[in-house]
Structure 1
C-alpha cells in the first residue's frame, strides 16, 4: 500500500497539498532570462537587490529616450501567477514590461516578490510594498539607484499588475492612501484581470495565507472603507468575458465607484477572451488593443 503521506488533503487550482504537509505546484518551473539592452527597442534593463532579508529584487527598465534633462513617469509593475508562480524575470513579463516602457516612454520597476509555498502570503504584499517604498526613497534624488535618481518623475508614479499582481497593486494603492508614500504622487493604478474574492480560488488564497480573517479578508475582498482610501487619482480595470475572475473584477469596479473614493475609475471588458490572454499572444489584435489602452493610461498627465 502507498504511504498515507502520498494522499492529498487539498486539491487547488495551482497546487496539491499532501497529508505530510508538502505542496506540489502544478506548474513549478518558470524559466528566467537575464536583463539586457534590447537593440530593437533601445530599452535597457538591469536587476537590483532591494532587500536581502527578506529577499526582494526588481528589474528596472529605461526607455531609449531617457535623458536626465527630462524626467519620465514611473510604472511599478507587479507580475501575476496566482501568488505561487511566475517571475518578474520571466521572458513573458520582461517582454510585456519592455513593450510598455518602449511605447509609453516611462521608467519601469518590475518587482520580484516572495511566492508560496517558500514564502506564504502576506510576503507578496509586504515585498511589493517594500519595493514601492524603495522606489520612493529616490524621490529626493539621492537614492541607491542612479537610473531612478536621474530619470524618474516621482510626481507621476503608477502601479499596475495582472491577476494576482492586480490584487497586490490594489493593496499598494490602499497603503499609499492610508499609510502614505512620502515624496511620491501615485497618479494611477492599472488592474488587468485582477483576482478578488468571490470565486472557487478563495479557499486556495486562504490556505496560502495562514494569518487571514476569512472570506471577507480585505486583501482578498476589499471593503468600502478600504476602497475609499485608495491613494491614487485614477484606476483602470480590465476584465475578460471568459475569465472566472470577471465577476469579482466587475464588482470591484462598481464598489469602488460608490465607495466615496474621490478618483475616477474606468473598466474595459475584453469580450470573448480568457484570463490574461494578452501575455500569451501579444501580437493578437485584441492583445494589442489592451496594451495600447494600458499605454495611453500611463501616458496621461
Structure 2
C-alpha cells in the first residue's frame, strides 16, 4: 500500500511534492517588506489581478521621487521575471528583492518584479498567463492614467525591457514571442526595446530526454517539440517583438548549452534584431544571486545595466 505522505517529486533541496497533494518549499520562502528609501531605492507592492492573485513589487531610485519637479526625463522601465523552475521564488524574498534593488540603483531605472503563480499547484501555462497579464497591466499606464502612480510619473514607455533568470529567462522569451504577435498598447507610445535572458531554462538538443522538472510543472507538454521549451522549433522565433536580445551564460552552468543553443537558433532565424551573448568564466547557475557581492557578480550587474542604458 502506498503511503499518502510518499514523495512523488523532489526539486533538489528546494521543494518536495507528496502524493496527498502537499507541497513543501524550503528555499526563497521568506518575505521581506518593501523598502522606503532603502539603499537608495524605494519599493512598493501592487495587486495586478484580484481574480488570480497576481501581484508585483515596483522599484524606483529615490532620485525619481523629485524628478518631475527637477524637470528630469522619465526612466527606462524593466519588467523582471524571477527564476526557480516555475516552482519556487518570488519578488518578495530577500534574494530577488536585493537583486532588483541593486539593479535599479546601478542602472537608474524603474522596475516591476512580477509574482506569477507557481507549479505544481498552478501548472504551466499559469506562469505564462500571469506574466502576460502583468505586461498588459504595465502597458495600461502608457497614457499616464494607469492605476499605479509611480509608473504614470516615472516610467518611459518608449524604453521598455524584459529580463529574467533561469525559468524567468524562459518566460522572457515566451513574452517576447507573444508581443511579436499581439500589441500590448495599440496606437500608443509603447516600445519593447530589449530582452535579457540570464542562464535561461530551455530544453537540451534533440535526442535528449525531456527535462523531468518541465514534465512535472507542465504535464500537458508535447515534449521536445514544445516551442515554449524548445524555441528552435518555433516558427515565431523570427518575429520577436523587440529589437535587442542579451543572452547571459555561465561557464560551469548545467544550462550553458541551452543558452548557446538559443543564441544560435536566434541568429539563424529571420529575426532582424541584434543578439549578444555574454559568458561569465568560472561561475555556475545564477551565481550572481547566491554571491551578489563578489567581483564577478558586481561586474555582471553592470553588464545588465549597460544593456538597458545603451539601447
Q: Distance in 2 between matches of 1:193 and 1:85?
A: 16
Counterpart of 2:261 (choices 229, 248, 251) is 251
**How many residues of Structure 1 are paired with residues of Structure 2 in the alignment?**
298
Give the root-mean-square deviation of aligned CA atoms: 1.9
| Equivalent of residue 164 in structure 1, options 158, 167, 170 | 167
Determine the structure 1 residue equivalent to 2:98. 95
- Aligned position for 1:115: 118
Q: Does structure 2 conserve the Cα–Cα contact (< 8 Å) formed by 1:161 and 1:190?
A: yes
The alignment partner of 1:98 has SS state of helix
Q: Output the CA distance in 1 between the equivalents of 2:10 and 2:30.
A: 25
Partner of 2:75: 72
Q: Distance in 1 between matches of 2:17 and 2:97?
A: 31
C-alpha displacement at 1:23, in angstroms? 5.1
Which segment drifts farther, 224-233 or 242-251? 224-233
* C-alpha distance 108-201 of structure 1, shift in aligned 2 (>3 A): farther
The DSSP-based 3-state class of the residue aligned with 1:207 is helix
Q: 1:216 matched to which residue of 2?
A: 225
Alignment partners' CA distance in 1, 2:127 and 2:49 = 14
> TM-score scaled to structure 1, two decimals?
0.93
Q: Distance in 2 between matches of 1:179 and 1:211?
A: 24
Matched, 1:298 2:308: yes
CA distance in 2, matches of 1:218, 1:202: 14
Establish whether residue 61 from structure 1 lines up as the match of residue 59 from structure 2.
yes
**What does the per-residue CA deviation read over 1:103-152, in whole Å, with 9 as the maximum and x for residues that have no partner?**
11111000000001221111111111100110000001111111111111
Query: Structure 2: where are the runs of 5+ without partners?
Result: none
Q: What whole-Å deviation, never above 9, does each CA across 1:249-293 have from its counterpart, x for those lacking one?
A: 100001001111010111111111110000111110111111110
Instruction: Tell me the distance in 2 between the aligned counterparts of 1:40 and 1:17.
Output: 37
Aligned to 1:227: 237
> What is the CA–CA distance in structure 1 between the aligned matches of 2:279 and 2:32, rounded to whole Å?
32
Under a length normalisation based on structure 2, what TM-score does the superposition of the two structures give? 0.90
Alpha-carbon deviation of 1:102?
1.0
2:141 is paired with a residue whose SS is coil
List aligned pairs for 1:1-301, cutoff 5 A.
3-13=2-12, 15-18=15-18, 20=19, 22=21, 24-25=23-24, 27=26, 30-41=29-40, 43-66=41-64, 67-68=67-68, 69=71, 70-182=73-185, 183=188, 184-198=190-204, 202-222=211-231, 223-301=233-311
Q: Judge conservation of contact 1:164–1:195 (CA < 8 Å) in 2.
A: yes
Unpaired runs of 5+ residues, structure 1, are none
C-alpha distance in structure 2 between counterparts of 1:207 and 1:46, whole Å: 33
- Matches of 1:92 and 1:290, distance apart in 2: 16
Separation (CA, whole Å) in 1 of partners of 2:161 and 2:234: 22
- Quote the offset at 1:17 in angstroms: 4.8
CA contact (8 A) 1:137 1:143 kept: yes
Shift of residue 197, structure 1, vs aligned partner: 0.8
